[in-house]
Chains A and B, each alone.
Chain A
Amino acid sequence: LAKITQPISMDSYEGQEVNITCSHNNIATNDYITWYQQFPSQGPRFIIQGYKTKVTNEVASLFIPADRKSSTLSLPRVSLSDTAVYYCLVAPTGGYQKVTFGTGTKLQVIP
Chain B
Amino acid sequence: DTGVSQDPRHKITKRGQNVTFRCDPISEHNRLYWYRQTLGQGPEFLTYFQNEAQLEKSRLLSDRFSAERPKGSFSTLEIQRTEQGDSAMYLCASSLGGPYNEQFFGPGTRLTVL
* Contacts of A37-85 to chain B: CB distance below 8 A: 41-46, 49
A6-34 contact mask (Cβ, 8 Å, vs B): 1 or 0: 00000000000000000000000000101
> Does B42 lie within 8 Å of A43, measured CB to CB?
no
Query: Would A101 and B56 be within 8 Å (CB), given that A43-B108, A49-B102, A96-B99 are in contact?
Result: no
Residue on B nearest A85 in the bound complex, by CB: B42
Contact A96 B45 (CB under 8 A): yes
Interface residues of A, count at CB 8 A: 21
A43-B4, A101-B42 in contact; A95/B107 too (CB < 8 A)?
Answer: no
Q: Interface range on chain B: under 10, 10 to 19, 20 to 34, or 35 or more?
A: 20 to 34
B20 touches A (CB below 8 Å) = no
Assuming the contacts A32-B100, A93-B100, asked whether A87 and B91 have C-beta atoms less than 8 A apart, the reply is no
Q: Mark each residue of chain B from 28 to 42: 1 if its CB lies under 8 Å from any CB of chain A, else 0.
A: 000000000000111
B99 and A43 contacting across the interface, CB-CB below 8 Å: no
Q: Which residue of chain B has the shortest Cβ distance to A51 in the bound complex?
A: B100
A-B contact pairs, 28 of them (CB 8 A): A32-B100, A41-B107, A41-B108, A42-B107, A42-B108, A43-B4, A43-B91, A43-B105, A43-B108, A44-B43, A44-B105, A49-B102, A87-B42, A87-B43, A95-B56, A96-B48, A96-B55, A96-B56, A96-B99, A97-B57, A97-B59, A99-B45, A101-B42, A101-B43, A101-B44, A103-B41, A103-B42, A104-B41
